[in-house]
Structure 1
Amino acid sequence: MKQLKRATDIALGINIFLFIIKAVVGVLSNSIAVISEALNSFTDILVSIGIKIAVKISKDKPDQKHQFGHNAAQPIAAFILAVFAFVVGINIVEESIKRLIEPRPIDPIPEVYIVLIVTIITKIILSRYQINVSRKYKSPAIKAASVDSINDVLASSIALIGFWGSAYNLEYFDSVAGIMVAMFIFKSGYEVGRENIDYLMGRSAPAEFDSELRKITMEIHGVKGINDLRSHFVGDKYHIEIHIEVDKDIPTSISHDIGNKVRQTLEELDEIQKVFVHVDPV
């Protein structure tokens, strides 16, 4: 939990810093590509705040109204932020097209190059850090942030090229770069939304994971077979329903213990929150 909180705090601090410096040089240079990058960083601030809140909520213990916990908080936050990214992207495209039709003078101040290069380097480092944290703690929200960070690297690179072109009196370069930055914002929103909609829709586990569960279960003493196995996401964790076969001649207490052993063993897996076991005597 502390590591997840630290990851969100680091991302929030970095995004606030990048937003401020990009907003300043964007206004001074009048570059739509750089202003778009500033808006992109502003969305990143909202993303960081949303993820910070979602991570905190998701770690709350189950209560009377949420008896299986609050794991859905992270995918819900990630999906909402994906929708917001689309709204920002549309606004950037609209302004870029206006400037493409009616170009505006741009002041090619050297500070823009410094800011965008700093952004690229910072986001590469941040993305690698977020990927490592998301893998270690199985956090969909932090993973979504890592996708956004690497897309920011590409978007800043496009903005850098666009500003460079505008410095040589190719004003349309800046507008085209603004549109391309918006495309990366769309891409980031789509990727995050596509992945988290599976959590919210209760997608079942892949066949490979089901096979692993069957293998683990069959290795438990007393399990004679498996006649049904179903799974679905609840938040970002799986709920599993499994029907095991046991010897019909053993006492009920022993078959009950076998079922409990199956439940406890499967619930030790990081991907699983809850297992429901049905015992069939054969």
Structure 2
Amino acid sequence: MEQIKYDNLKMGEKGAIISIIAYICLTAIKMVIGYMSNSEALKADGLNNATDIIASIAVLIGLRLAQRPADKDHTYGHWKAETVASLVASFIMMAVGLQVLYEAITSVFQGKSESPGIIAAWTGIFCAAVMYLVYRYNKRLALKIKSQAVMAAAKDNISDAWVSIGTVIGIIGSQFGLPWLDPLTAVAVGFLICKTAWDIFREATHHLTDGFDEELIKEYRNTIANVDGVEAVKDLRARNYGNNAVVDVVILVRSDLDLQKAHDISTNVEDELLREHDVYTVHVHVEPDEAPNKALQL
């Protein structure tokens, strides 16, 4: 199973590479057309894609580092490398987002009398279509290999498509005697960049501080409780190593069972979690359930 996980990371690299190529091309197109057509919104959108290049490179580096096997310094492996890379990318994106906001707000207060050329709108439409196609590819890939990093990249792709559509709206609006709408849209783009950076930061720190989905904990508990021989689930904890869930559980079994039978039950618990929820590693601790004996004494 571990080899399958590593193979999935390798496949995930394709999504990151495609995103990098797409963002490089779209950044160049948007920045050139943005300066030629005098569109603040399109230039801001181009800077947004520039940060996405860095974010995608960070994801690619993280996916490759995560493929390193366990060693003396990382006995659990390097799975969290992609999460650390996402955290670094969020800092870079936030810095650029704040820069875009500063320049856009300055442009709004300075006033703008010249509307951008209509070619800027057509550029935005084309770029939105390209990012939607990249989003569809990365989403299918993420679902196939069950990768949170690639799915995060896909969500970033679709958000970029919406940003481009918003840019087009601002540019077209400026053609109808509202030139201030273009830099105002650039402000909105800056806020979207900062929001995306914050979302990535929040998710990355949640994983790095061993936060875990409460609903998944409930599902794990129900699965374990339904395993034959488990009297109760005394304690259950889970954490993430990259895209892999690691579960620690304490179960209660009948106190009169022999060691082999108790061991078989713990093995069944591991097998069920692996089969039902694709959990990477399960640590099961077995304790005797004294309740039946107490009931007999009463």
For residue 107 of structure 1, report the CA deviation from its aligned partner.
6.7
Distance change (3 Å), C-alpha of 1:29 and 1:64: same
1:213 partner letter = Y
Q: Is the 8 A contact 2:115 2:179 kept in 1?
A: no
Quick one: distance in 1 between partners of 2:216 and 2:110? 55
- Residue identity (%): 28
For residue 106 of structure 1, report the CA deviation from its aligned partner.
4.6
Quick one: distance in 1 between partners of 2:107 and 2:120? 19
Aligned to 2:205: 197
For residue 235 of structure 1, report the CA deviation from its aligned partner.
3.5
For residue 183 of structure 1, report the CA deviation from its aligned partner.
1.5
Quick one: distance in 2 between partners of 1:61 and 1:9? 22
Q: Is the 8 A contact 1:205 1:232 kept in 2?
A: no
Which of 102, 109, 114 is 2:110 aligned to? 102
Q: Please say if 1:210 is aligned against 2:217.
A: yes
For residue 280 of structure 1, report the CA deviation from its aligned partner.
1.0
Q: Is the 8 A contact 1:31 1:106 kept in 2?
A: no
Which deviates further from its counterpart, 105-114 or 26-35?
A: 105-114
Q: Please say if 1:272 is aligned against 2:293.
A: no
Residue 280 of structure 2 aligns to a residue whose secondary structure is strand
Quick one: distance in 2 between partners of 1:269 and 1:68? 23
Quick one: distance in 1 between partners of 2:177 and 2:226? 71
Residue 272 of structure 1 aligns to a residue whose secondary structure is coil
Q: Is the 8 A contact 2:16 2:153 kept in 1?
A: no
Distance change (3 Å), C-alpha of 1:259 and 1:41: same
Aligned to 2:81: 73
For residue 170 of structure 1, report the CA deviation from its aligned partner.
3.0
Aligned to 2:5: none
Quick one: distance in 2 between partners of 1:135 and 1:55? 16
Which deviates further from its counterpart, 58-67 or 38-47?
A: 58-67
Q: Is the 8 A contact 2:238 2:245 kept in 1?
A: yes
Quick one: distance in 2 between partners of 1:170 and 1:192? 34
1:216-235 → structure 2 map (5 Å cutoff): 216-235=223-242
Aligned to 1:88: 96
Which deviates further from its counterpart, 111-120 or 239-248?
A: 239-248
Once superposed, what is the RMSD of the aligned Cα atoms? Answer: 2.3
For residue 45 of structure 1, report the CA deviation from its aligned partner.
1.0
Could you tell me the TM-score, scaled by structure 2's length?
0.85
Q: Is the 8 A contact 1:73 1:235 kept in 2?
A: yes
1:22 partner letter = K
Which deviates further from its counterpart, 25-34 or 263-272?
A: 263-272
Quick one: distance in 2 between partners of 1:226 and 1:98? 59
Unaligned runs of 5+ residues in structure 1 are: none
Q: Is the 8 A contact 1:34 1:159 kept in 2?
A: yes
